[in-house]
Structure 1
Amino acid sequence: MVLRTPSVRNPSYGGAMTDILLIHHIQGLTPGVLALADAFRAAGHTVHTPDLFEGRTFGSIDEGAGYARSVGFDEVRARGVASADGLPDDLVVAGISLGAMAAQQLVATRPGVRGALLYEAFAGPENFGGWPDGVALQVHGMADDEFFGLEGDREAAEAFAAGRPEAEVFVYAGDAHLFVDSSLPAYDADATRLVLDRSLAFLDRL
């Protein structure tokens, strides 16, 4: 199911309204993911927040991973890809951690995607069939996050972005994973404020 909420233009940002598909992380569609979506809505964008876990949220990464494993990680990613059905062609896809994989799959397979906002995860585009020319990218993650900075995602993102003016990688001090989720202990308010400011600037450039 995709949730659609009317948007209100925030005059502090001048870009055109964008449809964003925001795909949640391994702990589910938490209040913190919804709060992030609301921050984009407050800036005038329309945000769609699919629930890939059918109403379930989990108290830890391990619990969420156990559920995703029982369903099948490929199935979870397929649900994320399918959640774009019926949305406008010129979509911006966004994903947090696990959700970034479905977002990257959509970039590779859905014509018309304008850009991707990938939070706390990145995989080489060759894993999904490539990256179309002209699709803008922004990646955010923490330097010492075991799932981003220390697992190869940062290096893959920086290698991909090198020489591509439409691609940006922002690395933040710290070791937290899921730091953009205000409902989790890992939340970092200062870093998330920077993430949001940079993401909104990205959207205004599209």
Structure 2
Amino acid sequence: MAEILMFHHAQGLTAGLKEFAGTLRAAGHTVSTPDLFDGRTFDSLDGGLDYAGTLGFDTVLRRGVEAAADLPAGLVYLGFSLGVMPAQLLAQTRGGARGALLLHSCLPAGEFGGWPTGVPVQVHAMEQDPFFAGEGDLEAARALASAAADAGLFLYPGAEHLFADSSLPSYDAAATALLTCRVLDFLDTP
């Protein structure tokens, strides 16, 4: 079973993300869910992004790195939207990563020095998500999927951004069920 370090999106560590972590735990995986916002959650994506901007994106990254400090190598790094920043940073720069799951976002691999050989990665997003498709993430994900040996890009029909968080209005149960199956298959691959 996998040991996972899961980072929340800009609305914080919501009930829906706790539920998602619970699903992974129920499948036998160990999941750590650090709260990069010190318990704050936000009713809107804009509110969360404003807070992250005030906190500083460097601080979000630093807190993500600190969350991994006492954990062993061999982690799978999972990030939701804003949480992709620390997940991708750690997958690319902390030795021994077992894999990365990037949900709703993807940074250019060159942002952190290129994708490491032997680290599998999956990117999941809705094909018409205005943040993912309209702000460069889709291009970064396509480039990553074509450059990395063990990479997958999964696009779901729809335009919602945080569709895998059951506590938000953007939740899409059918897309999340498929995403969850793919994530569990990824985690079960040695």
Residue in 2 aligned with 1:7? Answer: none
Q: Counterpart of 1:83 in 2: which secondary structure?
A: helix
Q: Deviations over 1:89-128 (max 9, x none)?
A: 1100000000001011101221001100000000111101
User: SS of the counterpart of 2:133?
Assistant: coil
> Counterpart amino acid of 1:97?
S
Rounded to whole Å, the distance in 1 between the matches of 2:56 and 2:139 is: 27
Contact persistence 1:114–1:136 (CA under 8 A): yes
User: Are residues 1:31 and 2:44 paired?
Assistant: no
Question: Which residue number corresponds to residue 84 of structure 1?
Answer: 68
Aligned to 1:110: 94
Identity of aligned residues (%): 55
Which residue of the partner structure matches residue 56 of structure 2? Answer: 72
Deviation at 1:159, TM superposition (A): 1.8
Which has the larger helix fraction? Answer: 2
Residue 153 of structure 2 corresponds to which residue in structure 1? Answer: 169
Q: Structure 1 length normalisation: TM-score?
A: 0.90
Displacement, 1:48? Answer: 0.3
String of CA shifts for 1:42-90, please: whole Å, max 9, x gaps: 1110000000000100000110011111111111121112111111211
Distance in 2, matches of 1:203 and 1:187, equals 23
Map of 1:45 onto structure 2: 29
Note the residue ranges of structure 1 that are not aligned, 5 or more in a row. 1-16
Instruction: Give the deviation of 1:188 after TM superposition.
Output: 0.4
Runs of 4+ in 1 over 3 A off after TM superposition: none
- Asked if residue 22 in structure 1 is aligned to residue 20 in structure 2, the reply is no
Partner Cα distance (1:64, 1:97) in 2? 12
Amino acid at match of 1:127: E
Moved more, 58-67 or 74-83: 74-83
- Cα separation, 2, equivalents of 1:29 and 1:101: 15
- Write the letter of the residue equivalent to 1:30: T
Please, what TM-score do these two structures have when normalized by structure 2? Answer: 0.97
Match of 1:120 in 2: 104
Partner SS, residue 79 of structure 2: strand
| C-alpha distance in 2 between matches for 1:194 and 1:150 | 23
Corresponding residue to 2:78 among 77, 86, 94? 94
Retained in 2: the 8 A contact 1:143–1:150?
Answer: no
Q: How far is 1:165 from its partner?
A: 4.1
* Structure-2 separation of matches of 1:159 and 1:69: 27
Q: What RMSD over aligned residues (CA atoms) do the two structures have, in Å? A: 1.0
Q: Which residue of 1 aligns with 2:133?
A: 149
Find the residue that maps to 1:59 and give its secondary structure. Answer: coil
- Which string of whole-angstrom CA distances, capped at 9 and with x for unpartnered residues, describes residues 17-52 of structure 1? 110000000000000110000010011100000000
Which one-letter code corresponds to 2:62 in the other structure?
A
Contact preservation (8 Å) 2:109, 2:140: no
